[in-house]
Amino acid sequence: MPRTRDRESMLWSPEGDAARCALCERRCLIPVGQGGFCKTRYNEDGTLMSRTYGDLSAVESRPIEIKPFYHYWPGSTALTFSSWSCNLTCRWCQNYHLSRRPPSPAGRTHTAPEELVVRALGAGDAGLCASFQEPTLLYEYCLELFPLARQSGLYCCFVSNGYMTGEALDGLARAGLDGLKVDIKGGPDLYREHCGGADGTVPWRRAQEARGLGLHVEVVCLLVTDLNDGPEQVSELVGEHLHRLGPDVPLHFTRYHPVKAFGRPPTPPGRLERAREIAFKAGVRFPYVGNLPGNRYENTWCPRCGKLLVMRDGPQVLEYRISAEKRCPGCGEPIPITGEGRRTEEQVNRLTRKQVNKSSEQVKK
């Protein structure tokens, strides 16, 4: 595989010999010969360069529900790809082996955008998803990749911490990004204390702006045991969600599991269900629980009549009952779905009849 070459960053401005990065809201001022906070942008003789173009750390076809996206092309798979490093330093990161590792000039490889599109089409994927670590750091690559993907009929989405600048979001949307899952960590104090001193209002603002640009948006909050899973903290997050995004944007509460650098016990399932109940009672029409396979609240229910619309078992769609007009077949309530939804035979064939019967019992009210 050929080596990748550094590319000039698309979002920066000179300030004397230093370079002001405008890719994320840290807006690092980077002296000559040094890198920014994420270590993927560096100042080479007064020009800001990117070290991530085409240097992919992982490429894998995965169900879109695993992101999780539940209202965006349900039942499809996306060719998921990533690079290195991150612009936040969350101690509980599940992919710390990627997010804590800066790109290595000596070990970099290169995957051309055209190669990724061909691979997705060959695998039968419906789209592309930049994920695993912060995809904004692949900005220049995505600006070239997404138009090619859209021309080939593929959707393009991000699983992001939402800490990109408005300029970066606008550029990605114009290139073809049409789906954005934003990870909300918690309140402002949590961002300052546990995420590298970040401004906790930024992800909410980006999610709101993404909605204004016509992107499909879903919000996820990883509930970490005794850190952000209390009723008051959840209520504050739900209030911000309704204020910024409205009742129809899906809100996922996912279970935390211990990682190498953070040893708190897994989130008790009852706290996840409590968070979901708080959200539903406050007016969020599509609140979910995640990382609890088989739980009834990973399914989609009609918010009006309570009919089961989408039955899931983890990332697998077992039943998809929303009409072609994207309405509840029971009462006709419009259901906000982007793209076509389906139950794939490949997914169903992986399940035994016992698993299907077990899931059916668990979703009964």
Residue 364: the pLDDT is 34
Over residues 117-128, the pLDDT tens digits come to: 999 999 999 999
CA-nearest of 340, 6, 21, 45 to 164 is 21
Is residue 170 classed as helix, strand or coil in its secondary structure? Answer: helix
Over residues 51-89, the pLDDT tens digits come to: 999 999 999 999 999 999 999 999 999 999 999 999 999
Check whether domain 58-292 has CATH 3.20.20.70, yes or no: yes
Predicted confidence (pLDDT) at residue 316 exceeds the cutoff of 70: yes
Q: Which residues pair with 63 in a beta bridge?
A: 77
Give 222's Cβ-side CA count (13 Å radius): 18
Over residues 156-167, the pLDDT tens digits come to: 999 999 999 999
Residue-averaged pLDDT of the chain: 92
Domain boundaries, the chain: 7-50, 58-292, 299-365
Over residues 327-363, the pLDDT tens digits come to: 999 999 999 999 999 764 444 454 444 444 443 343 3
Q: Which residues pair with 259 in a beta bridge?
A: 262
Rg (CA), the chain: 20
